[in-house]
Chains A and B, each alone.
Chain A
Amino acid sequence: MVKNSGAASRPHRLRTLNEPRPIQVETLDDRPVALIEKEVRHRITQIQDTWIIQDEWWRQELFRQYYELLLDNDTRRTVFHDRIADRWYEQAY
């Protein structure tokens, strides 16, 4: 039985998919070195790719630095650093 999340279904609204999820990231010289999830620290073994998205400067500016990371548990994750709010998020790209 699936647990009731308690969230409203909002059937008359468009619900965007793949919203960014906040995540805690340890950095060294502005570069991610570890992800902390549920109080467990996962060391980043390799930054496989990185790219910048800077867009929509005419309304609410977006400035994201994406990283594709390989963790010490052999999982691949994509995170981005919101350079304007100075926060980290996880988001599949």
Chain B
Amino acid sequence: MAIACLRVPHLALRIALLDQPELDGHPLILSNPESGRAVVTDATSEATERGIRAGMTLREANALCPDAVILMPHPAMETRVSQDILTRLEEISPLVEADEDEQGAWYIDLAGLERHFPTTKVATERLVACIPPILRPRAGLATNRFTARAAADIAPTGGIQAVPTGMERRFLKEAPVTLLPFPPEMTHQLSRLGLTTLGAVATLPAAKLAARFGPDGRLARELAAGIDPRKVTPRPYAETIIEKLAMPSPVISHEMLMIGLRQLVQRAFNRPSLKNRQVREVILRAVLENRRSWERTLILKAPCGASGLITALDLRLQALEMPGPIESISLQLGGIVNEIGHQQMLPSIRPHTTRPVTEAIRHLKQRYGLSPLFHVVEMEPWSRIPERRHALIAYEP
């Protein structure tokens, strides 16, 4: 069994280079001043070499490296590029999994590819070629996920680091415990216990680690010993429909945005694949001026058709303040289900049953001053004392 791990470190930053390749080689910093805190959220190796670290304020970063280029996050583009890469990888192997916890990491099970490629290394080279070179991809090749992930970390840019079968434990011996896919609190605790390398973790009895850290401790011991029982799980097939619209001029008003969205919804529901069907998930993406982007996912309470979706979008986006003028929008519809019929309440049931009662109570109140009708309510239905369980309360329809 061979598993390849593809990595693109600093994906959010490298993606900006797809539009601005001239920045390649410059120290790049990722920060979002609009979030309220002007801090470094990520930095390329060129920036970290100059002392810049994540969490630093932009003022400090600027003092250390005045020529660093500050880039804003571009979530829509990140999603698009990640999806494109995933789709391209799936054309080579059906067993591809994007790491949920780490952006820019994909696992590919190479089982069955020996019929298409002479060696697993050639297959992995083909996988690396799916990612634009400017993103600086690299790959690790091993018999399991974790070892492949560790190998990808030390692979050269555009290259492959392979770990031969049976050498996993030796390869991981000196690797830091921070590589383990667990929350920082756990790896920090391991370090405080003097377990700074995976080799040190692998020498401990699994039972002791399980007693201290629970199931994660047992898994940590296995991973450190080069054993990873986790399989590569491909994403479930989910039917989605994407419609895009470029605005004739940058748009800022809600009305104009809704005109564009109405057109996209109508266009999507005109497709034969949405005929007599409804959607329950909408991902709205907007590309703003100055190469910024915006994204929002809306989960609808019930599946909607075209008109219901337009109403829902109109309501949800009423109070929306866009961070800038919109140049283009895209609408991704998911959770597609067949049209659902809703049983409506028979129009005459409720008024017919309650109206005479309401009327009678009104008469009784007029006559006696108070309503003599009661209904039963639960007080303490769990009580051991029977008279505490239920009570009567005045009925007010």
> Which of A15-23, A24-32, A34-42, A67-75 is the interface stretch?
A15-23
Where chain B touches its partner, the secondary structure class is mixed
Q: Which of A14, A18, A53, A91 contacts B393 (CB 8 A)?
A: A14
B387 and A17 contact, CB distance less than 8 A: yes
A11 and B374 contact, CB distance less than 8 A: yes
The size bracket of the interface on B is: 10 to 19
B385 and A11 contact, CB distance less than 8 A: no
Where chain A touches its partner, the secondary structure class is loop
CB distance from A12 to the nearest CB of B (A): 7
A17 and B394 contact, CB distance less than 8 A: no
B392 adjacent to chain A (CB < 8 Å): yes
Interface bits A69-93 vs B (CB < 8 Å: 1, else 0): 0000000000000000000000111
- Nearest residue in B to A64 (C-beta to C-beta)? B385
Residues in A neighbouring B389, C-beta threshold 8 A: 17-18
**Listed residue (A11, A16, A19, A91) with the most chain B CB atoms within 10 angstroms of its CB:** A11
For the complex, give the distance between the alpha carbons of A12 and B392 in Å.
Answer: 10
Interface bits B86-115 vs A (CB < 8 Å: 1, else 0): 000000000000000000000000000000
For the complex, give the distance between the alpha carbons of A19 and B368 in Å.
Answer: 26
B384 adjacent to chain A (CB < 8 Å): yes
A14 and B392 contact, CB distance less than 8 A: yes
Q: Which of B376, B387, B394 contacts A91 (CB 8 A)?
A: B387
B371 and A18 contact, CB distance less than 8 A: no
**Listed residue (B376, B377, B392, B393) with the most chain A CB atoms within 10 angstroms of its CB:** B392
B390 adjacent to chain A (CB < 8 Å): yes
Residues in B neighbouring A16, C-beta threshold 8 A: 379, 387-388, 390-392
Residues in B neighbouring A14, C-beta threshold 8 A: 377, 379, 391-393
B370 adjacent to chain A (CB < 8 Å): yes
Residues in B neighbouring A17, C-beta threshold 8 A: 376, 387, 389-392
For the complex, give the distance between the alpha carbons of A51 and B232 in Å.
Answer: 59
B386 adjacent to chain A (CB < 8 Å): yes
Q: Which of B385, B386, B390, B391 contacts A55 (CB 8 A)?
A: B385
CB distance from B249 to the nearest CB of A (A): 65
- Nearest residue in A to B393 (C-beta to C-beta)? A14
- Nearest residue in A to B371 (C-beta to C-beta)? A11
Residues in B neighbouring A11, C-beta threshold 8 A: 370-372, 374, 394
For the complex, give the distance between the alpha carbons of A80 and B292 in Å.
Answer: 77
A19 and B394 contact, CB distance less than 8 A: no
B384 and A55 contact, CB distance less than 8 A: yes
Residues in A neighbouring B372, C-beta threshold 8 A: 9, 11
For the complex, give the distance between the alpha carbons of A11 and B369 in Å.
Answer: 10
CB distance from A26 to the nearest CB of B (A): 24
Contact A15:B392 (CB < 8 A) given known A9-B370, A9-B372:
yes
Other 4 A-B pairs with CB < 8 A, given A11-B372, A16-B379: A12-B370, A15-B393, A16-B390, A16-B391
Cβ contacts A to B, 6 pairs, < 8 Å: A15-B391, A17-B391, A18-B389, A20-B387, A55-B384, A55-B385
Q: Which 10 A-B pairs have the closest CB atoms?
A: A11-B394, A15-B392, A14-B391, A17-B390, A9-B372, A11-B370, A18-B386, A16-B391, A16-B387, A19-B387
List A residues at the B interface (Cβ < 8 Å): 9, 11-12, 14-20, 53, 55, 62, 91-93
